[in-house]
C-alpha cells in the first residue's frame, strides 16, 4: 500500500489525473476503510470533471460519517459542477452547522452566489473564506472577479503582500498574478496590470505546456472520419438537441441564455457528454488498420449521448449543450444525432484572442491560451475545422455573429430561433433574465442587459498586444 500511495502522489504532482484515478481506485478497493484514500479519489474525480461519480461516493460516505466535513465539501462542489445550486448551497450550509466559519464552506457559497449572478453576496462569502485562507491564490482570483475595486483597495495590498511571501516567480503564484491584473485593470493602472497578466500567463504556460501538433493530428483524423457531406435523413421524433460551439470567449454563454428563454428549452451548460462518447470511440478506431468510422461506432456514440442527456433532462423537448470546444466534433455530433442542430459563434478575432489571454480556465483545460503564438495557432486549427464542417453539415450548422447578436437583437434572434427550430418570443430579447446557472467566467456579464463595445476592449492594451495582433494579421484573421 505505501508504494501504491507514493505512485498516487507522483501522478498528482504531474497532474496526471487519469493515472491518479486508476491508482486511487485500486487503493480504495484494497483498503476501503481508509477514508483519506476515498477523499483523495473524490478530489481526483472532481479534477477530471466526473462530478457524478464524486457525488455518488460522497453520499455513500456521508451515510457512514455524517459529520465528515471533507465529504460534505465534495458534495457541495459536485452539486455546483452539476448545475444544482440549491443543493450545493445546502451542503455548504451543512458544513457550517458542523464547523461554523469553515473557510471551504464560505468559498462554496461564494461560487454558488456568483453563478446565480449575486456578485455582492459572492464577495461577502469570499471575504469570509479569505479570513481563514489568506494565501489561497484561487480564492483571491475568485474575489477579483466579483469585487468593485477602489484606488487604495485593501485587497490589492493583501494580494501584493501574499505575492511577496509566495514569490512572484513561484509557479504557485500564477493565479495571484491574474487576480492582480483584474484589480489593477479595474483601477486603470494598466501598465502594472499587464505586467502581472504577462507573468501569470508565463507561469501557467510552464506549468501546463502546449503542443499544437497532436491537436492538428486529432483534427485531421476527425475530418477523415466524416469526410463527405452528410445525407438528408429523417429526424427522429421526440427529444431534440442544440449544440452551441465556437472558440471559448466567443459568446456561447450569452447564446445559450438567449435560447433558454424560448418555450420548452433546457439550458444544460457545458457538458462533457460529447467528449466522453467520442474519445472512447477514438481509442477503438485508432487500433483498426483502416481507421474508419463504422455504423456500430455511430450507434454506440448515439446511445451514450441519449443516455447521458436523459439523465439530466427536466422534461423539456430541447436540451442545449454549450461546451465551446465541441466545435472539434461537429461532424460526429451530426452523424450520431440527426436531430441535433449546431450553432457556431463567430466573433472579432482580436476580441477573442485578447479575452482568451486574460482569462484562466479550470484545471488548465485550455492549454493554448498562455502564449500569443499558441492562441493564433489554435485559431488556425479552429478556422480550418469549421471550413470543413460547413461543407459537411450544410444547413444543420448555423453561423451566428456575436456583433450582430448584441447590435441587432431582434432580427438576429429571430434568425437564430428559426435556424435551430425553437419558437421566437420577445423573451429572447432579455437573456439577462434567464435563470439558468452560469459557472463560467461569463457569469458577471451575461446577467446584465446586452451591450456593445466589448469587442474593442483590447485597445486598452494595444501597445502590449502588438505581437498578438501581428500574428493574427500574418495569418489573415485581420
216-227 pLDDT, tens digit per residue, is 999 999 999 999
Radius of gyration of the chain (CA): 23
401 pLDDT exceeds 60? yes
Report the Cα–Cα distance between both ends of the chain, in Å, rounded: 57
How far, in Å, CA of 455 to CA of 458, rounded?
Answer: 7
Nearest to 347 by CA among 219, 242, 247: 247
pLDDT score of 362: 74
Confidence of residue 49 (pLDDT cuts 50, 70, 90): confident
> How far is the C-alpha of 408 from the C-alpha of 411, rounded, in Å?
6
**C-alpha grid cell for residue 330?**
461537429
Check pLDDT > 90 for residue 370: yes
- Choice between 282 and 384, residue whose per-residue pLDDT is larger: 384
Which helix (H) or strand (E) covers residue 125, if one does? helix 119-132
pLDDT in tens, 67-87: 999 999 999 999 999 889 999
How large is the average pLDDT for residues 146-162? 96
> What is the band of 437 on the pLDDT scale with cuts at 50, 70, 90?
low
Query: What is the average pLDDT score of the chain?
Result: 92
pLDDT score of 440: 60
Distance of CA 462 to the CA centre of its chain: 27
Residue, of 180 and 208, whose pLDDT is higher = 180
- The whole-number pLDDT of residue 11 equals 73
Share of the chain above pLDDT 90, in %: 78
pLDDT, residue 450, reads 67
pTM: 0.91
pLDDT tens track for 440-454: 655 555 556 666 678
CB < 8 Å & 24+ apart, contacts of 192-197? 194/461, 194/464, 197/357, 197/358
Task: Give the whole-angstrom CA distance, residue 149 versus residue 156.
Answer: 8
pLDDT tens-digit profile of 285-319? 988 999 899 999 999 999 999 999 998 999 999 99
pLDDT at residue number 58:
97
Asked whether residue 202 carries a pLDDT value surpassing 80, the answer given is: yes
Amino acid at each position: 500500500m505505501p508504494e501504491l500511495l507514493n505512485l498516487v502522489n507522483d501522478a498528482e504532482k504531474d497532474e496526471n489525473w487519469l493515472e491518479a484515478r486508476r491508482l486511487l481506485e485500486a487503493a480504495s478497493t484494497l483498503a476501503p476503510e481508509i477514508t483519506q484514500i476515498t477523499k483523495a479519489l473524490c478530489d481526483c474525480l472532481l479534477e477530471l470533471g466526473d462530478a457524478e461519480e464524486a457525488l455518488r461516493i460522497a453520499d455513500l460516505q456521508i451515510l457512514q460519517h455524517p459529520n465528515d466535513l471533507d465529504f460534505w465539501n465534495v458534495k457541495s462542489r459536485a452539486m455546483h459542477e452539476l448545475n444544482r445550486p440549491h443543493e450545493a448551497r445546502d451542503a455548504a450550509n451543512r458544513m457550517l452547522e458542523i464547523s461554523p466559519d469553515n473557510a471551504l464552506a464560505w468559498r462554496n457559497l461564494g461560487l454558488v452566489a456568483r453563478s446565480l449572478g449575486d456578485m455582492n453576496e459572492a464577495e461577502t462569502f469570499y471575504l469570509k473564506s479569505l479570513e481563514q485562507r489568506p494565501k489561497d491564490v484561487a480564492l483571491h482570483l475568485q474575489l477579483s472577479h466579483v469585487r468593485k475595486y477602489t484606488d487604495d483597495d485593501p485587497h490589492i495590498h493583501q494580494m501584493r503582500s501574499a505575492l511577496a511571501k509566495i514569490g512572484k516567480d513561484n509557479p504557485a503564484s500564477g493565479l495571484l498574478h491574474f487576480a492582480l491584473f483584474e484589480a489593477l485593470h479595474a483601477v486603470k493602472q494598466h501598465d502594472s496590470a499587464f505586467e502581472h497578466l504577462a507573468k501569470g500567463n508565463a507561469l501557467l504556460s510552464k506549468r501546463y505546456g502546449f503542443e499544437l501538433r497532436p491537436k492538428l493530428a486529432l483534427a485531421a483524423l476527425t475530418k477523415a472520419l466524416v469526410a463527405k457531406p452528410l445525407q438528408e435523413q429523417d429526424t427522429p421524433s421526440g427529444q431534440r438537441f442544440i449544440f452551441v460551439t465556437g472558440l471559448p470567449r466567443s459568446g456561447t454563454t450569452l447564446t445559450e441564455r438567449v435560447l433558454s428563454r424560448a418555450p420548452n428549452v433546457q439550458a444544460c451548460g457545458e457538458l462533457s457528454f460529447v467528449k466522453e462518447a467520442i474519445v472512447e470511440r477514438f481509442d477503438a478506431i485508432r487500433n483498426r488498420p483502416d481507421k474508419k468510422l463504422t455504423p456500430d461506432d455511430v450507434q454506440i456514440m448515439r446511445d451514450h449521448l441519449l443516455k447521458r442527456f436523459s439523465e439530466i433532462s427536466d422534461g423539456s423537448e430541447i436540451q442545449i449543450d454549450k461546451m465551446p470546444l465541441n466545435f472539434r466534433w461537429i461532424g460526429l455530433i451530426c452523424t450520431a444525432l440527426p436531430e441535433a442542430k449546431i450553432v457556431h459563434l463567430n466573433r472579432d478575432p482580436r476580441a477573442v484572442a485578447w479575452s482568451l489571454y486574460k482569462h484562466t480556465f479550470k484545471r488548465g483545460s485550455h492549454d493554448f491560451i498562455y502564449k500569443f503564438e499558441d492562441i493564433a495557432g489554435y485559431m488556425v486549427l479552429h478556422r480550418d475545422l469549421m471550413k470543413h464542417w460547413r461543407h459537411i453539415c450544410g444547413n444543420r450548422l448555423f453561423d451566428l455573429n456575436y456583433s450582430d447578436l448584441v447590435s441587432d437583437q431582434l432580427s438576429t434572434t429571430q434568425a437564430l430561433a428559426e435556424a435551430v427550430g425553437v419558437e421566437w418570443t420577445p423573451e429572447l430579447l432579455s437573456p439577462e433574465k434567464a435563470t439558468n446557472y452560469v459557472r463560467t467566467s461569463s457569469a458577471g456579464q451575461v446577467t446584465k442587459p446586452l451591450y456593445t463595445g466589448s469587442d474593442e476592449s483590447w485597445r486598452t492594451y494595444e501597445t502590449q498586444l502588438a505581437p498578438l495582433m501581428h500574428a493574427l494579421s500574418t495569418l489573415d484573421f485581420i
